Amino acid sequence: MCGIVGYIGDGSARGIILDGLKKLEYRGYDSAGIALHAGDKIEVRKKQGRISNLEEFIANDPVDSTLGVGHTRWATHGAPSDINSHPHCNGDSTIAVVHNGIVENYVELREWLIKEHGVKFLSETDTEVIAQLIGVCYRGDLLDAVYEAVEKMRGAYAIGVIAAGEPDKIVAVRKSSPLIVGLGQGCNFIASDIPALLRHVKDIYLIENNETVVLTRDQVTIYDKERKEVKRDVFHVTWSAEAAEKEGYPHFMLKEIHEQPGGIEETLTRRLSPEGMIKLDGISLTRKELERFNRIYIVACGTAYHAGLVGKYAIEKFARLPVEVDVASEFRYRDPLVDEKTLFIAISQSGETLDTLEALRDAKSKGARILSVVNVVGSSVARESDDVFYTWAGPEIAVASTKAYTTQLICMYLIALHMGLERGALPMEEYKRILQELLALPDKLRKLLETEPDIREIAWELFLYNKNDVFFIGRGNDAGVAYEGSLKLKEISYINSFAIAAGELKHGTIALIEPGTPVIALATQDALYEKMLSNIQEVKARGAYVVGLAKEGNQEIGKRGNANRVVYIPRCPDEITPVLAVVPLQLLAYYIAKFRDCDIDKPKNLAKSVTVE
Ligand code: M6R
């Protein structure tokens, strides 16, 4: 959560930082601020609300410089307000800090600073504690002061610091929260994520945990915890700046929904050999390795967790290995049975979700082998895993995850098929057949996207219905997709929605179905179709308004008083329908949110990358 940007060079720090912050707004957007080195002072401008508020504010009180740091906030300590916005300064405003993460011992440090140094605090934030602490440690050398302060701080954070007395320097530290350095000509940058820098640089350093960086206009020096200099290879980014733009779409979410066929194609083809076999390129999942594992955990959060639910079905079906799926925030604290016979699969779009990262670290420390499915190349999850399976979805900017989910599913299928073949649980013929079906998905998805006007119409009906509760039901693979559809709807439209395995309805939840209650019923599994028709009848009998989802050719769902409206998806094997089934649900959520006039790409209270526990 939160995004930080820093710039040192000859250009306008204000413009460059504000532009970078806009690209990071997905990480938090309840307030924003900027600290610029001007003359021998630090000038801070900060404002509650979106970056556009800050821009307006600065336009009325302009300041410019060639060195500065900026921040876009997702509040953790203290409500969103002008005062609590970053950057924060020490007492005489000679040090300014931007911060992403949490300082866990900030109460203790705050009391110590008040008692021992008479510090007066203005805000409720943990970040002000960092600024004041560095201020107290400062004796003319910013790097010394930062090292001294960091020694006293506990938690997970990335910080960027400037000092009034040092007009030629930014010092930044990474402890768990993401931090990259952009390498320019006569200028250098820090940022929380790549999109902030794409317009200016493609060469970056990925800063590792517990490293400190000093940036001047012409030089970047990385130090480890003991302050020994560290050499780092340059990482060249291949994403274009346009990939992080809306390109004519009204929202990133809609653009990203439409990018799914391409993302799936890319994810598939990068993993297929000319002979049509899955190539793992160094990923150790050989027959021998697989024999070693007696347990697989898939661990993730939110949408990525929902991809894990489908992954479990695929691995159990194709590879006949038992799999447990867990939300990362629970996994860590339930003392799971992890040892060197465990394969731990982490799924994460950002690769920076702290719950997932900490669960991974925990499993690793207990000897598990770590395989991750990640979108952001070089992210923490990717770097700390033994093996990485990248989803080639390109940058996902909308807070609501869409193309990351479908490409995560593709990776899970490839992993499951490979495991199945290696273990001898899946005949070659079946392996090839499913692979062919996967390769046919992008075109089927393009065809499905042509039904967007129909889905928009259904969304309009549901919007007019104006109900505050929506239910999603499904069986087997459809249950996993129902959870994802429900999450999409609630996070962007703020409608309370609830997903449940359809067979479980009658054990309690059906009590909530009343005349007119909208129920989205997923019936895409041929093997469970008849059973789903019965479940639809059960809710219809209680007056529900049913929107059904079925495979083309399965017409009964729309007959005999079943669903009120039906969306048909192209035919494909039951195991891989989630890739198609989720798309109408994404569009439904998108249009309902649009009709409700919601801020689709930046829903309230959320952030794209959740780097706090
Ligand atoms: O970056 P990650 O995939 O690790 O993020 C996990 C969740 O925070 C994320 O999927 C979240 O649930 C999405 N906003 C849902 O659309």
pLDDT in tens, 568-593: 999 999 999 999 999 999 999 999 99
Nearest to residue 472, comparing CAs of 486, 459, 462? 486
Is the pLDDT at 242 greater than 80? The verdict is no
Is the pLDDT at 316 greater than 70? The verdict is yes
Structure confidence at residue 255 (pLDDT): 96
Q: Which two tokens stand for residue 127?
A: 């970040």
Structure confidence at residue 332 (pLDDT): 84
Q: What spacing in Å lies between the alpha carbon of 401 and ligand 1's midpoint?
A: 6
Pairing of strands 155-163, 166-175: antiparallel
Average pLDDT of the residues in 175-182 = 90
CA distances from residue 186 to 10, 38, 147, 172, 596 in whole angstroms, order as listed: 7, 19, 26, 18, 47
Lowest model confidence (mean pLDDT) among 201-215, 277-291, 349-363: 277-291
The string of pLDDT tens digits covering residues 402-431 is 999 999 999 999 999 999 999 999 999 999
Q: What spacing in Å lies between the alpha carbon of 352 and ligand 1's midpoint?
A: 10
Describe the crossing of helices 302-319 and 477-493 by its angle, rounded to 10 degrees: 170
Bridge partners of 612, per DSSP, are none
Q: What is the mean pLDDT of the chain?
A: 93
Lowest model confidence (mean pLDDT) among 197-201, 448-452, 461-465: 461-465
Q: Any catalytic annotation for residue 2?
A: yes
Question: 282: left (phi > 0), else alpha (psi -120 to 50), else beta?
Answer: left
Peptide bond into 573 cis (omega under 30): no
Total Cβ atoms within 10 A of residue 342: 20
- Name the 3-class secondary structure at 584: helix
Closest ligand 1 atom to 404 CA? 3
Is the pLDDT at 606 greater than 90? The verdict is no
Catalytic residue among 2, 137, 187, 411: 2
Which single residue is written with the structure tokens 């799926």? 325
Structure confidence at residue 320 (pLDDT): 93
Structure confidence at residue 24 (pLDDT): 87
Structure confidence at residue 86 (pLDDT): 87
Q: Which two tokens stand for residue 570?
A: 């192209």
Q: Which two tokens stand for residue 511?
A: 């009590």
Rounded to whole angstroms, how far apart are CA atoms 321 and 341? 13
Using an 8 Å Cβ cutoff, are 23 and 58 in contact?
A: no
Rounded to whole angstroms, how far apart are CA atoms 399 and 418? 32
Q: Any catalytic annotation for residue 604?
A: no
Q: What spacing in Å lies between the alpha carbon of 302 and ligand 1's midpoint?
A: 5
Rounded to whole angstroms, how far apart are CA atoms 197 and 439? 34
Closest ligand 1 atom to 400 CA? 16
Q: Confidence band (pLDDT; 50, 70, 90) for 1?
A: low
The string of pLDDT tens digits covering residues 143-159 is 999 999 999 999 889 99
Average pLDDT of the residues in 183-200 = 93
393 lines ligand 1 (CB under 6 A): no
Answering whether pTM is above 0.75, one says yes
Rounded to whole angstroms, how far apart are CA atoms 173 and 208? 9
Q: What spacing in Å lies between the alpha carbon of 176 and ligand 1's midpoint?
A: 18
The string of pLDDT tens digits covering residues 504-532 is 998 999 999 999 999 999 999 999 999 99
400 lines ligand 1 (CB under 6 A): yes
192 lines ligand 1 (CB under 6 A): no
CA distances from residue 275 to 1, 269, 431, 435, 588 in whole angstroms, order as listed: 43, 12, 13, 12, 39
Closest ligand 1 atom to 301 CA? 6
Nearest to residue 73, comparing CAs of 116, 123, 135, 139? 123
Structure confidence at residue 203 (pLDDT): 95
